[in-house]
Structure 1
Amino acid sequence: MAHIVTAMGNYGTDIQSAMAVQIKAEMAARDWKQSDLSRATGIVSSTLHRYLSGARDIPLPVFADIAQALGMSMIELATRAQRRLDGKNVL
């Protein structure tokens, strides 16, 4: 995956990390384990682990499936991840 390099660093890598952290935070807020998200999305647990650990980038359709499983819009989840990346409070 091509990443946009900014003066502040590698945005593509940074936003992927923020997305994974935000997904984990949303899971924690729902008292979900990785297996719960795996069941809700149909994503194989080992693949989900690679996404959430940063070993693989999260494809946009998968991100959309994850957001839906968490009861959120993709935009809402992405916005929270961006706020996290910006060092702002995340709701």
Structure 2
Amino acid sequence: MASYAARFNAAVAAELRGERGAQQITVEALAEKAGMVKGTLLRYLNGKRDIPVPALAEICQALGVDPGDVLDKASARVAAQQV
């Protein structure tokens, strides 16, 4: 089983993907709004790379969501997986 950190990172990525989908914003547009390279954003969103706190803050700001809400939802997602 993956470490808690890996599962949590994957859950954060899933929350961000869900929010991006709900807002129907393209990866290109989100990357531009967040001020990052598309490839880097994709690695974050696909769980291929750990999301540093500054990057999480930029992505959340670009999506107009509270980082704390994203982390809370990710934590609940990880907890639900352990049941």
Aligned to 1:82: 75
Equivalent residue runs for 1:1-91 within 5 Å = 10-87=3-80
Higher normalized contact order (CA 8 Å, seq sep 6+, divided by chain length): 2
Please identify the structure whose Cα radius of gyration is greater.
Answer: 1
Q: Check conservation: 1:22, 1:84, Cα contact below 8 A.
A: no
TM-score by length of 2: 0.86
Identify the structure with the greater strand proportion. 1
Moved over 3 A (4+): none
RMSD: 1.7
Gaps of 5+ in 1: 1-7
Task: Specify the code of the residue in structure 2 equivalent to 1:84.
Answer: R
Identify the structure with the greater helix proportion. 2
Shift of 1:20: 0.6
Gaps of 5+ in 2: none
